[in-house]
Structure 1
Amino acid sequence: NCFDDLKKFPPFEDEWLRGGPVTRWIPQGLAGQPAYVFETGGTTGTPKSRVNIRDFRTDYEEFSATLPEEHFPKGANWLMLGPSGPRRLRLSIEHLAQYRGGISFCIDLDPRWVIKLIQKGWMEHLEAYKEHCIDQAITILESGHDIRCMFTTPKLLEALALALEKRGSTIRQAGITGIFSGGTEFTPQWTRFAVEELLDGAYMTPTYGNTLMGLAASRPVVPADGYTIAYYAPQPRAVIELVDFDDTNSVVPYGGTGRVKLTTLTKETFVPGFLERDEGERERPYVEYPWDGVSGVRPFHKLATATTVGVY
């Protein structure tokens, strides 16, 4: 009868998402419709997967409304400087570009290989692979495709800006006016560095999301607020709560630190009480997002030593 009734379900275990058949996750009312399968992780063992029919399109169509047109003009082409392969993100950026009247250009990037390079300590190979990815991006930007918008991660954005600087150019001079980015590498310190040293006036909006959640937008990041980055889940499709580390049914007070607990409620996907591998601080509602948010997102401290961030 109400949201609190979801506590009657046991916590959703991410291990349930490993292996098949993936069709077991498709509701009977949607059986037979064309479906996509998106994977997450997969560095070791069987990757976790989620079946999508239309969810990824809906998520990014709703997110599109949050992008300021002066920086993300309708009809503009996009560069997807992020992971390729069996990931929701690549197809989602492609749909976002198409939905806004543009075309998405993608590079080839395997984050599973990146993580293996890090785990093996092959830093020389890691640097070479990063350069390979950035070279692909610069080739696209210099090929006359009139690209104005971009998705990338903080690490790749920094690498691209530094590579362009060596060529006597900048992100803005390469034609980019709007960037949306995501990853736990976002900190107030890095964001200030990006604004002051990397972007050359290009607009950037941080996001937080994954295959299960969809995409959480951020309120404007401004110097007056210490470059604090606060994310707000796409309610009512997904709800984020900051819960006590020991009692995951108890929400922490505003400003308190807790573990991110996700509930996804769409026609395609029901995920009650999924404990993310992230923690952060509970933020008050914002005028455009009148529900709780989360700031300071970072790996959950009890798992942090086992977490390899990779390209994110």
Structure 2
Amino acid sequence: MTASSTSSPPLPAAIDQARAALDAHAVETVQWHFHESTGCPFWLDKKNELNFDPLTEIRGFDDLKKFPEFQDEWLRGGPVRRWVPRGLGDKPVYVFETGGTTGTPKSRIACEDFRTDYSLFSDTLPDKHFPPGSNWLMLGPSGPRRLRLAVEHLAQHRGGICFCIDLDPRWVIKCLKKGWIDHANEYKKHCIDQAITILTSGHDVRCMFGTPKLIEALCLQLEERGTSLAEVGITGIFSGGTEFTPQWTKFCVEELFGGPPEESGIYMTPTYGNTLMGLACSEPVTAANAYKITYHAPQPRAVVEVVDFDDTDRVVGYGETGRTKLTTLTKEFFVPGFLERDEGEREPPHALYPWDGVSGVRPFSRLEGGTTVGVY
């Protein structure tokens, strides 16, 4: 994602090294979560139901297939402290929730993971467009979501201050499901008004996070007021959401921003992430590659596989379509084989990320009734 990044394939040695690191990290993570002295109550209890011993039979990442498919419902409801590892029992604990669009929200605990993930992500941002010391705008969900604190940490980690708007995506989704389109549009305008107030109040905001829908709405509203993102000082945008497509990115860069970074002065990097995974970075997105967006998970802390729709233990071939399957591997949180509500195409390793990626990420087509994406 940096200006010096290359599209050449990684050396086989880099791929082998990354795989060896993943295997070792998987073993270490399982040892932590299933040892009586460090493990969390949930996995220590679950250990009694397994037909294998995780402490002796997990010798690499592939062995994680021995675990049963991770169930959505395990993360819904409490007590949430059953997920706190004994080895972290003296640490302050956060609880983050998912969108809450499908009943009781899924929740996860965290101590430092969100800071670690975004500190690592910071290393991929080009200083030219994300100047150290710059202030940030967080134009995204607030409330019980990891993203708000994570972006604030990213700003602080880079020496800046983060300004946040107040946004409840659950209300947006409720409006859309009830057909209250005018209400949803008014709420979007309310959020954009908050953002413009921050950007035009002399706070020297140079960087921002925004979802595709909100970035577009912000640009159009600024245009109506006779100005633009560049004119209010924005030079770097970190964005995320399932609505990133090559078509939208092309429109955004060429029409809303006024051209690529060398012309408009605005650099945008798409990301793919959620409360359970962290943050997957994208390969460089340019006109030269038709604005194709390919994400790579933050291995070895998290792994995203593209698996067959019916045989979810089988990874599809490169270029083939499948469902995304997540494995989270940190001392705070262990999630083996969680089937996401997304699908996409499997992509080969990249020079910057010598492990598999996924492109064309979109809501999983087989989900009954589809997915309401709201502000994303």
The two structures share one fold, judged by TM-score above 0.5: yes
Q: TM-score, normalised by structure 1?
A: 0.99
Looking at structure 1, the residues matched to 193 and 368 of structure 2 have their Cα atoms a distance apart, in angstroms, of 31
Is 1:307 aligned with 2:371? Answer: yes
Mapping of residues 80-91 of structure 1, within 5 Å: 80-91=138-149
Looking at structure 2, the residues matched to 153 and 257 of structure 1 have their Cα atoms a distance apart, in angstroms, of 25
Is 1:283 aligned with 2:341? Answer: no
Deviations 1:148-179 (A, max 9, x none): 00000000000000000001111111100000
Looking at structure 2, the residues matched to 209 and 42 of structure 1 have their Cα atoms a distance apart, in angstroms, of 16
SS in 2 for 1:109: coil
SS in 2 for 1:305: coil
Looking at structure 2, the residues matched to 162 and 241 of structure 1 have their Cα atoms a distance apart, in angstroms, of 37
Looking at structure 2, the residues matched to 199 and 58 of structure 1 have their Cα atoms a distance apart, in angstroms, of 31
Which residue of structure 1 aligns with residue 162 of structure 2?
Answer: 104
Looking at structure 2, the residues matched to 128 and 171 of structure 1 have their Cα atoms a distance apart, in angstroms, of 21
Which residue of structure 2 aligns with residue 164 of structure 1?
Answer: 222
Alpha-carbon deviation of 1:44? 5.2
Which residue of structure 2 aligns with residue 23 of structure 1?
Answer: 81
Is 1:35 aligned with 2:99? Answer: no
Residue type of the partner of 1:283?
E
Which residue of structure 1 aligns with residue 108 of structure 2?
Answer: 50
Looking at structure 2, the residues matched to 4 and 294 of structure 1 have their Cα atoms a distance apart, in angstroms, of 19
* Most deviating of 82-91 and 199-208: 199-208
Alpha-carbon deviation of 1:304? 6.7
Looking at structure 1, the residues matched to 72 and 131 of structure 2 have their Cα atoms a distance apart, in angstroms, of 38
Query: Greater share of strand residues, 1 or 2?
Result: 1
Q: TM-score, normalised by structure 2?
A: 0.82
Summarize the Cα distance change of 1:10–1:183 in structure 2 as closer, same or farther, 3 Å threshold: same
Alpha-carbon deviation of 1:226? 1.2
Which residue of structure 1 aligns with residue 204 of structure 2?
Answer: 146
Picking from 211, 231, 235, the partner of 2:299 is 235
**Greater relative contact order: 1 or 2 (C-alpha under 8 angstroms, separation 6 or more)?**
2
SS in 1 for 2:108: strand
Residue type of the partner of 1:228?
K
Query: Greater share of helix residues, 1 or 2?
Result: 2
Is 1:256 aligned with 2:314? Answer: no
Mapping of residues 121-132 of structure 1, within 5 Å: 121-132=179-190
Summarize the Cα distance change of 1:14–1:267 in structure 2 as closer, same or farther, 3 Å threshold: same
Summarize the Cα distance change of 1:282–1:43 in structure 2 as closer, same or farther, 3 Å threshold: closer
> Which structure 2 residue ranges, 5 or more long, are not aligned?
1-58, 259-263
Q: Cα RMSD between the aligned structures?
A: 0.9
SS in 2 for 1:186: coil
Which residue of structure 2 aligns with residue 246 of structure 1?
Answer: 310
Alpha-carbon deviation of 1:32? 2.6
Looking at structure 1, the residues matched to 107 and 183 of structure 2 have their Cα atoms a distance apart, in angstroms, of 28
Looking at structure 2, the residues matched to 215 and 44 of structure 1 have their Cα atoms a distance apart, in angstroms, of 22
Identity of aligned residues (%): 74
Deviations 1:62-113 (A, max 9, x none): 0000101100010000000000100000000000000000000000000000
Looking at structure 1, the residues matched to 69 and 355 of structure 2 have their Cα atoms a distance apart, in angstroms, of 22
* Most deviating of 295-304 and 141-150: 295-304
Looking at structure 2, the residues matched to 303 and 204 of structure 1 have their Cα atoms a distance apart, in angstroms, of 31
Looking at structure 1, the residues matched to 193 and 182 of structure 2 have their Cα atoms a distance apart, in angstroms, of 16
Alpha-carbon deviation of 1:225? 1.1
How many aligned positions are there? 312
Summarize the Cα distance change of 1:44–1:264 in structure 2 as closer, same or farther, 3 Å threshold: closer
Based on CA coordinates, which of the two structures has the bigger radius of gyration? Answer: 2
SS in 1 for 2:291: coil
Which residue of structure 2 aligns with residue 67 of structure 1?
Answer: 125
Which residue of structure 2 aligns with residue 198 of structure 1?
Answer: 256
Which residue of structure 1 aligns with residue 19 of structure 2?
Answer: none
Summarize the Cα distance change of 1:301–1:292 in structure 2 as closer, same or farther, 3 Å threshold: same
Alpha-carbon deviation of 1:222? 1.1
Residue type of the partner of 1:272?
P
Looking at structure 2, the residues matched to 294 and 139 of structure 1 have their Cα atoms a distance apart, in angstroms, of 37
Looking at structure 1, the residues matched to 152 and 177 of structure 2 have their Cα atoms a distance apart, in angstroms, of 31
Looking at structure 1, the residues matched to 292 and 332 of structure 2 have their Cα atoms a distance apart, in angstroms, of 33
Summarize the Cα distance change of 1:270–1:44 in structure 2 as closer, same or farther, 3 Å threshold: closer
Deviations 1:165-196 (A, max 9, x none): 00111111110000010001000000000000
